[in-house]
Amino acid sequence: MSDRLKIAKAYEKALFEGRMEEVGRLFTDDIVYWVAGSPPIGGEWSGREAVLQAFSNREFGLGSADWGYEERWRDWYDADERVIVEIRERSWLRGTPGDVIDQRTCVVIRFRGDLICEMRDYTDTHLYEEFRRRHPELPKFKTSGSR
C-alpha cells in the first residue's frame, strides 16, 4: 500500500471518528473541497479552516439528523498524485427506515507531497435533492417562522 493510500485511509478514519484536529493535519493550508451540485447540498470550500468547518457543520449533503447507515462497499485505487475511492452506501432517517438513499459516490483525493490538497466528491446530489423534497423536516433545511 502506497503512502498516499495510507494517508487517504487515515484521513477517512479520523473524519468518521470525529478527530478533526487529526484530519486538519493531513490537509495543505490551501486545500479545496468540491462537492458536485449547487449549495446548499454541493459547492466548494477553500482553505483548511473552511473545509474543516464545512465538515464539522455538515455543510454539504443533507446535514445532521438521526441517520442510519450501511456501507455496501468501498474500493480504493492508487493513481498518479491522487487516490480514488468508489463508495456504495445506504442511509436513512431512523424515523423512516423504509426511505433509503442508495448512494454511489466517487471521490478523487489529490496530494501535494504527503498532504491532501484537493478533494472532488462526485456524489449524486440529485438523490439528495429528491430525499430533501420528501423530508422537509430535515434540520438543515428548516426555516424559522421569524426573521
- Does the residue 145 lie in any domain? no
Q: Which pLDDT tens digit goes with each residue over 82-117? A: 999 999 999 999 999 999 999 999 999 999 999 999
Instruction: Give how many domains the chain has, as a whole number.
Output: 1
The domain of 24 spans: 3-136
Confidence of residue 140 (pLDDT cuts 50, 70, 90): confident
Q: Which residues of 6-34 are buried (b: 16+ CB within 10 A; e: fewer)?
A: ebbeebbebeeeeeeeebbebbbeebbbb
- Does the residue 144 lie in any domain? no
Provide mean pLDDT across the span 52-66: 86
Q: What is the CATH number of the domain that holds 46?
A: 3.10.450.50
Residues, the chain, total? 147
Closest CA to 31 of 21, 41, 44, 17: 44
State CA 44 to chain mean position distance. Answer: 12
Confidence of residue 65 (pLDDT cuts 50, 70, 90): confident
- Does the residue 143 lie in any domain? no
Q: Which residues make beta-bridge pairs with 140? A: none
Residue 143: what pLDDT?
63
pTM over cut 0.75: yes
